[in-house]
Structures are given as structure tokens and as C-alpha cells.
Amino acid sequence: MPDRIIVLVGPTAVGKTQASIALAKKCGGEIVSADSMLVYRRMDIGTAKPTMLERQGVPHHLIDIIDPDEPFSVADYQRVAFTAIDAILARGNTPILVGGTGLYVQAVTDRYDFSPSSTDWNLRRQLEEEARLCGNAHLHDRLAVVDPVTAARLHANDRRRVIRALEVYLQSGVPLSESGKKQDEADSPYCFQLFGLTMERELLYRRIEQRVDKMLEDGLLAEVERLLTAGFSPELFSLQSLGYKQLIAYLRGDYALATAVELIKRDTRRFAKRQMTWFRRDRRIDWYNLGDTMAEAAWPEKISNYIAGKLAKL
């Protein structure tokens, strides 16, 4: 029988962290993060990274593994995720893949082959010079013409990844978004059981707004200031993420703090909507709907009981 891996997905602020910890304690699991922001050190508050106390002794993997200015691709994530998963299985425990970054989850569950193409250094230098002369937006616009899928998920200021995506297309004629080849699931040594958390939109949006307020109370602005003082460029992909980008703009004087906060809440709501659109396409996911009538404190235990019960019948 293939080794079983539990996968828990859902939009930001839906309660994945607490539910996954309760589930891990119930089934002897270890958590493998599938969140593209939790990989960064020094970025704790704005990423809603669980503290050591909140983890309740449950081992967590792929958190705090790189600095904000270090490159990290989906292929890198896939490699370290499978390394962590295999180590967990070797210990006789259950891997629980948890997160809201759909591409990271899919890189594991769908076994995409991210075979790297060779680097054309002359081409790269040409693209770098083009970006310097014409701006990042110009290069991003070029990418949008030949690979709109990749362009849509990359920020215009993420120059390194935009250039890499253009390299792949200009060398091969194949968009980066189509270059990953899905491996045969029949050959996989793993059996994935996918579960998703969802709730009514109004409730989720209210939780998002409460989370943003709590982040600010906990010192998110000071965290952003520390990152900038440490010399990390505000143009980094990591610092263009939710919460950090808007507060950097506030510190630059682009708008008032209250405006920055409202933009964080608005953009996070939009992000949650995109996450649900992504995950809804995967028909393998067994959804658990969290209702208004259920006490929030009871959510983790009820969710873990539901998943454990489902797994016991398989």
C-alpha cells in the first residue's frame, strides 16, 4: 500500500493551523507547511507564522528555512517537501501537508517534474539590461504576452522570476506555466487524502479583518521597519507580499496608516477569494464547512474528528 499523506487546504484565516495541530496530535502526525511565506525567516507576524507555543509540541517543517532575500522556487519547495515527507514516514509518523499556496500543494500532490533548463547567460544579461533601461513593468508586460498564466502570479517587481520565465520561453518556445510535466499517479509511492476548510464569505472576511487588526497590535509595523533597517530591499518578492507591501508604502509616505490597513484587509480578502477559486478546481478535496453556529474554540477538535473518521473508513 502507498504511504498515506494527509493534505489540509483552504483560504487564509480559515483555521488551518489550529485544525492541523489537533489532527496531528490525534494521528501521530507531523506538519509540512505548504505556505510560500512561512519559509522566510524574520517574517513572523505578517505571515501569521505559528509560534512555538502555538505549535503545542507538534513538529513543523519548511518554516524559517531561508532569508527574505534568498531565491526559492516551486521546484525548490517540491524538493525539500518530499525530503521532509520521506523523513516523517521513515519515523513511522503521518505527514500532514498544510497550507494555502495552491501551487506548492499541487507540486506535491500532482508530482510535477520541474526539470531545469540550462541558463543562457547572454540572454539573461540582455533581459537584465532591458529591465534596467525600460523598467520592471516593461519586462512583465513582455511575459504577459507569451505566458499570461505565469505573469498573473508574478509581481512586476519580482524581476528575477520574470526574467527566468522569459528565459524559459525564449529558449524553448514553451511557456513556464506549461513546462512542468505531471508524473503518472499510478507510479506514486504516496496516497494523498485531501481535505479542505471553508466557511461563509462574510464570516471569513470578518476573521481576516480581525487577524489584520491583531497583527498590527502584535507589532507588524515594527517588524516591517526591522526588515528594512536590516537592509532588505522593499522590492524583494518577499516584501511585496500582503501586509508588508502596504506598510512599506505607508513608511514611504504614499498614504496614511489607516489607508494602508484598509488596503491590507481588502487585498487579503481578494487573495482568499483567489485561493478558493484555485482549490475548488480540485475534485479530490473533501470539504468541511465551518458554520456560524459552531463555537470557534470547538473547531479544531471537530475538524480533526471529522478527518480522522473519514480516514478510518478508507
Q: Residue 115: its pLDDT value, please?
A: 61
The residue type found at 117 is S
Q: Which CATH class is domain 3-114+182-312?
A: alpha beta
The residue type found at 289 is N
Q: Residue 171: its pLDDT value, please?
A: 76
What would the DSSP string read from start to end of 249-298? HHHTTSS-HHHHHHHHHHHHHHHHHHHHHHHHT-TT-EEEEEPTTS-GGG
Question: Over 90: is that where the pLDDT of 40 sits?
Answer: yes
pLDDT band with cut points at 50, 70 and 90 for residue 272: very high
- Residues 18-57: b if buried by 16+ CB within 10 A, e if exposed: bbbbbbbeebebbbbbbbbbbbbeebbbbbbbbeeeebee
Hey, where are the domains in the chain?
A: 3-114+182-312, 121-179
pLDDT band with cut points at 50, 70 and 90 for residue 282: very high
Q: What's the pTM?
A: 0.81
Q: Residue 183: its pLDDT value, please?
A: 55
Distant-in-sequence, close-in-space partners of 65: CB < 8 Å, separation ≥ 6: 39, 41, 80
Question: Over 70: is that where the pLDDT of 116 sits?
Answer: no
Q: Which three cell numbers stand for residue 100?
A: 494555502
Question: Over 90: is that where the pLDDT of 258 sits?
Answer: yes
Percent of the chain with pLDDT over 70: 94
Answer yes or no: are the C-beta atoms of 237 and 158 closer than 8 Å.
yes
Longest dimension (CA), the chain: 61
Q: What angle do CA 150, 156, 159 make, to 5 degrees?
A: 90
Q: Residue 168: its pLDDT value, please?
A: 83
Cα 149 to Cα 80: distance, rounded to the nearest angstrom: 25
pLDDT band with cut points at 50, 70 and 90 for residue 228: very high
Question: Over 90: is that where the pLDDT of 188 sits?
Answer: no
Number of other CB atoms surrounding residue 208 within 10 Å: 21
Range among 113-127, 133-147, 183-197, 233-247 rated most confident: 233-247
Q: Residue 120: its pLDDT value, please?
A: 74
121-179 fold: Histone, subunit A (1.10.20)
- Distance set, CA 61 to CA 20, 46, 101, 110 (Å): 13, 19, 15, 20
Question: Over 60: is that where the pLDDT of 111 sits?
Answer: yes
* Strands 181-182, 112-113: pairing kind: antiparallel
Cα 33 to Cα 15: distance, rounded to the nearest angstrom: 14
